[in-house]
């Protein structure tokens, strides 16, 4: 297996307080990975440890197959990052700021700098930005500029902490489409976010932490699995209700809710009995449902039972 990110036993303590506790993360190359947790759960500290900005108290990190921060000089030029609120020299125009950022450290080839800056600005929707200082940018424009900075060197791995902070719905969709495009071209995307619906639309894999500890690490399909219930719509609702009497959980007009572990078999049995099935929808957990259950907000016992049954 080729891991873009591999953290083993990652721990960070500040005096007696443990912020991140023995965290294991595996992000495959090519993944779109969502990293979730409540406020104060240790997400941003984890991201900073991954990038070598904060030294772990214990554990290890490998990015693109190289240990961090030992090989940071070799690895970081291949990584684009956006960590919390972007910090710029706000008296500079956007293009001058990006040129200064690109000239710092290794990997910023001078002869291609102007072209790469224009490409990055165009990709994030700032291609027509003028020479006004960054201090006059809106929060959303600053966030786009930070993403442009992360894209300057055509990274193999993007590590993004709240990349859509301050953006309107249309801009969020544009950034999502951009990340999907970059991922399709081979860039691994690791995104920490509190926008659960956005992670659900973008990511294929996810990890959830709570109080610094990992509480889930799986594909989105596995986490947001069927609840064991289906919604059935039929003009023969009385007959269907009679046939489903033992598993029927609710009814509203021509719609019925029933428990089943085998929707296909239930559908076949109803059709064989003469029920005209117009629609049968398998109920699935949303990422919000899973997040609230696993972070202790409610329903934790039910979730544990469901995992055991599966």
Does residue 272 sit in the same domain as residue 185?
no
pLDDT at 302 over 50: no
DSSP labels for 50-63? Answer: HTTSS--SEEEEEE
Check: CB of residue 186 under 8 Å from CB of residue 30. yes
Q: How many domains does the chain have?
A: 2
Lowest-pLDDT range of 49-58, 66-75, 78-87, 246-255: 78-87
Separation between Cα atoms, residue 181 and residue 232, nearest integer Å: 37
Q: Which of 219, 243, 264 is the last residue of a domain?
A: 219
Dihedral sign (CA 205, 66, 162, 19): positive
Cis peptide before 69 (omega within 30 of 0): yes
The CATH number given to whatever domain includes residue 24 is: 3.40.50.300
Q: 225 with 310: CB under 8 angstroms?
A: yes
Structural domain harbouring 249: 226-284
How far is CA 102 from each of CA 22, 87, 112, 115, 121, rounded to the nearest angstrom? 35, 15, 10, 12, 13
Percent of the chain with pLDDT over 70: 95
Residue 292 included in any domain: no
Q: How confident is the model at residue 304 (pLDDT cuts 50, 70, 90)?
A: very low
Measured between alpha carbons, how far is 79 from 13 in angstroms, rounded to an integer? 26
The tens digit of pLDDT for each residue in 170-221 reads 888 888 999 999 999 999 999 998 889 899 999 999 999 999 999 999 999 8
pTM: 0.81
Q: Are residues 203 and 106 in the same domain?
A: yes
The DSSP symbol for 255 reads E
Taking residues 261-288, what's their average pLDDT?
A: 93
Say if residue 62 is in the same domain as residue 187.
yes
| Together in a domain, 180 and 263 | no
Are residues 157 and 73 part of one domain?
A: yes
CATH of the domain at 257: 3.30.70
Write down the pLDDT at residue 171: 86
- The string of pLDDT tens digits covering residues 135-184 is 999 888 888 899 999 999 899 999 998 888 778 888 888 889 999 999 99
Kindly state whether residues 157 and 200 are assigned to the same domain: yes
Of 42-46, 72-76, 87-91, 102-106, where does mean pLDDT reach its minimum?
102-106
Whose CA is closest to 241, among 250, 110, 222, 149?
250
* 290 belongs to a structural domain: no
105 and 242 co-located in one domain: no
Same domain, 214 and 244: no
Classify each residue of 274-305 as buried b or exposed e, where b means 16 or more C-beta atoms within 10 Å of its C-beta: ebebeebeeeebebebbbbbbbeeeeeeebee
Q: 118 and 60 in one domain?
A: yes
Contact between residue 193 and residue 199 where contact means Cβ atoms under 8 Å apart = yes
| Residue that is last in its domain, among 170, 186, 219 | 219
């Amino acid at each position: 297996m080729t891991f873009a990110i591999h953290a083993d036993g990652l721990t960070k303590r500040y005096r007696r307080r443990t912020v991140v506790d023995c965290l294991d993360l595996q992000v495959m190359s090519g993944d779109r990975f969502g990293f979730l947790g409540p406020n104060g759960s240790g997400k941003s500290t984890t991201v900073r440890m991954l990038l070598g900005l904060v030294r772990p108290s214990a554990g290890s990190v490998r990015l693109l197959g190289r240990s961090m921060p030992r090989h940071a000089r070799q690895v970081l030029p291949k990584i684009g990052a956006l960590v919390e609120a972007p910090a710029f020299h706000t008296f500079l125009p956007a293009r001058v700021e990006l040129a200064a950022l690109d000239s710092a450290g290794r990997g910023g080839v001078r002869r291609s700098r102007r072209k790469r800056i224009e490409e990055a600005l165009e990709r994030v929707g700032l291609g027509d930005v003028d020479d006004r200082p960054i201090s006059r940018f809106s929060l959303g424009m600053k966030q786009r500029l930070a993403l442009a900075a992360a894209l300057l060197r055509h990274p193999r791995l993007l590590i993004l902490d709240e990349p859509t902070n301050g953006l309107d719905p249309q801009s969020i969709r544009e950034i999502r489409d951009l990340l999907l495009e970059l991922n399709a071209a081979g860039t691994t995307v690791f995104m920490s976010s509190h926008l659960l619906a956005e992670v659900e639309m973008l990511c294929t894999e996810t990890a959830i932490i709570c109080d610094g500890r990992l509480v889930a690490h799986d594909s989105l399909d596995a986490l947001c699995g069927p609840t064991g219930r289906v919604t059935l719509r039929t003009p023969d609702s009385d007959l269907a209700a009679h046939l489903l009497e033992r598993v029927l959980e609710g009814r509203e007009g021509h719609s019925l809710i029933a428990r089943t572990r085998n929707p296909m078999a239930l559908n076949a049995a109803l059709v064989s009995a003469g029920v005209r099935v117009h629609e049968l929808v398998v109920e699935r957990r949303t990422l919000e449902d899973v997040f609230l259950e696993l972070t202790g907000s409610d329903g934790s016992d039910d979730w544990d039972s469901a995992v055991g049954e599966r």
